[in-house]
Amino acid sequence: MTKMTLGAHPYMLGFEQLERLLERSAKAGNDGYPPFNIEQTSARSYRITLAVAGFREEDLAITLEDSQLVIRGRQSDDGEGRHFLHRGIAARQFQRSFVLADGVEVGDAIMENGLLHVDLTRVEPENVVQTIAIKKG
């Protein structure tokens, strides 16, 4: 028995890109840092919250790249000239990626108490019924 992929299923036409997106998101550099929550705030909206204590707004970048929401953080190392007896809080960079479905729009990004909130909204597509004319061959 052979395993059928989403792009090879006979009734699922044009979904090859979705399969590539899933593969790419599985390979993305999401190593568990920083921790995050995803909550559904209404029937059509979501909020991603990342714990980014120690980061300033200017240390963070949020981009939308080919249906992928990418959040990057890079702290400047301000430890030069300082002598640490213990350094448990390191300046660490990160990249978090989230694949967004068609129709999901990125809204506000809010920094609050060491948490970065990114709001998403799913736009409801309108139902369209189209009649296709049959031509004689």
List, for residues 31-66, the tens digit of each pLDDT value: 788 999 999 999 999 999 999 988 999 999 999 988
Q: Flag the least confident range among 1-10, 52-61, 105-114.
A: 1-10
- Answer for the pair 73, 60: CB distance below 8 angstroms, yes or no: yes
**What is the CATH code for 30-122?**
2.60.40.790
Predicted confidence (pLDDT) at residue 101 exceeds the cutoff of 60: yes
Q: What percent of the chain is modeled with pLDDT above 70? A: 84
pTM, entire model: 0.73
Predicted confidence (pLDDT) at residue 20 exceeds the cutoff of 70: yes
Query: Which amino acid is located at 3 in the chain?
Result: K
List, in order, residues 6 or more apart from 90 with CB less than 8 Å away.
none
Select the more confidently predicted residue: 5 or 119.
119
Average pLDDT over residues 79-101: 84
Taking Cα atoms as reference points, which of 40, 93, 42 lies closest to residue 70? Answer: 93
Q: What is the pLDDT of residue 131?
A: 93
Select the more confidently predicted residue: 89 or 37.
37
Predicted confidence (pLDDT) at residue 79 exceeds the cutoff of 70: no
